[in-house]
Structure 1
């Protein structure tokens, strides 16, 4: 059974228990039934128990993975560039592919593999730029944009909200860098006009799709909330010669944002929880 469906069933059983719609022993039986099914399906083959029992397949698998990591680390720089690119793509496909395989079996392993693939995608990109003396002013923004797009797509496909959020964060970084280079002397009003429309748009999209596309509304809402503070963060971190009152303005905006979240909590929690 799908993990999501099983969680819904367990929550429903808990609701029956709390409202005394079923006898306690029936609720215990049903809870144990689905918990046992979860344990059977989510059993991790790479466990301390299997290692202690001397499972030769697990030990050989671990030896192969560790050896492969060392070989790539030691000899990656001497590979011809097509082999470097093929190696990087193969590692990423393996990480993200197994993340998809384990998505319904073991969510923790799926998250770890997706996180590893994301770190490696950025790391391989920076490594290739350094190895081939590519122009960082050109290729780093391309890498940031490519990683952001990849993470947005895979975060949506794998239903990993954090990965999708990181993708949008990279696009926001690219957006900030682009306009920082074009308008380094931008006023605070310009920065507010640069970021706040995006904030409103993301929150509006969160409301628009919360009942149509599952798992995306919460990401859009989180991105919108983050963009609320971006004008001040842009001024403090990416630009120079800004007055000290910007930090107090940031604190004020955080307070206003929390107040808005509190006032409209019944609405946005519905979007996020959908």
Structure 2
């Protein structure tokens, strides 16, 4: 069978498995039927069994990767700015690139690489800002904005929901910081007006896109559910003075959210699993 057609069929089987359209037994049977040759090629080589029985090349490769990371860590601070940026970009391209290439064959390893890439993006940025004593009030918000946009784009194209969600989380932090600068004395009800329209927007986008773009609707719905509680989270994280009854408001909003999720569970579960 043509490899491209086989991959399409296997992706559909995995979709049937996630959405419970077929039982686990049928999905396993179909996977073994269509992936008789591909399973051996696509197995994750980094397992305890494979390491125990593997060739010396695997261990030499691991030694080279670890040594390279340590060398970069030791000498990164003495590199000129141009070389620092080139080194950081090279490592990010490798991490995100392999996360995309291995997305279907080795999803767990792909997610790990995407997480490492996200950590490195933020870590290298903060390190460069600290080494060159750049204005933190300007460059840290710029870094957070770039990280958020990068994670949203990569999470969308690589179909990694957690990375996509993290991008929106970074932009929410940036929005909270700017709102605090513009309105440092904002009260509880003003914060509701700042955050709740965004909550409605993300829920609406989740509904709008659940038939058009697979894997995006669930992320937008999760962001919308988080934004429902962001006014209270905003006050706590930024250390604002809040009234004693805000805890009751938070409990009430959680109760309303859970009640809404229960009443409309058939609708939003369809969006999330689309």
> In the TM superposition, what is the alpha-carbon distance from 1:188 to its structure 2 partner?
1.3
CA distance, structure 2, for counterparts of residue 137 and residue 67 of structure 1: 35
Matched, 1:133 2:142: no
Q: Which residue of 2 aligns with 1:20?
A: none
Q: Which residue of 2 aligns with 1:14?
A: 23
SS at match of 1:141: helix
TM-score (norm 2): 0.90
Within 5 A, what are the aligned runs for 1:1-274? Answer: 1-2=6-7, 3-8=10-15, 14=23, 30=30, 32-34=32-34, 39-274=39-274
C-alpha deviations, 1:119-156, integer Å up to 9, x for none?
A: 00000000000000011111100000000000000000
CA distance, structure 2, for counterparts of residue 161 and residue 194 of structure 1: 25
> In the TM superposition, what is the alpha-carbon distance from 1:32 to its structure 2 partner?
4.2
Return closer, same or farther for 1:225/1:85 CA change in 2, 3 Å cut-off.
same
> In the TM superposition, what is the alpha-carbon distance from 1:89 to its structure 2 partner?
0.3
Contact 1:199 1:228 in 2 (8 A): yes
C-alpha deviations, 1:232-265, integer Å up to 9, x for none?
A: 1112221422112112211110011000111111
Query: What residue ranges of structure 1 are gaps of 5+ in the alignment?
Result: 18-26
Q: Which residue of 1 aligns with 2:3?
A: none
- Number of residue pairs matched by the alignment: 265
Contact 2:154 2:164 in 1 (8 A): yes
Query: What residue ranges of structure 2 are gaps of 5+ in the alignment?
Result: 1-5
Q: Which residue of 2 aligns with 1:21?
A: none
Q: Which runs of 4+ in 1 moved over 3 A?
A: 8-13, 27-32, 34-39
CA distance, structure 1, for counterparts of residue 161 and residue 30 of structure 2: 30
CA distance, structure 1, for counterparts of residue 144 and residue 30 of structure 2: 48
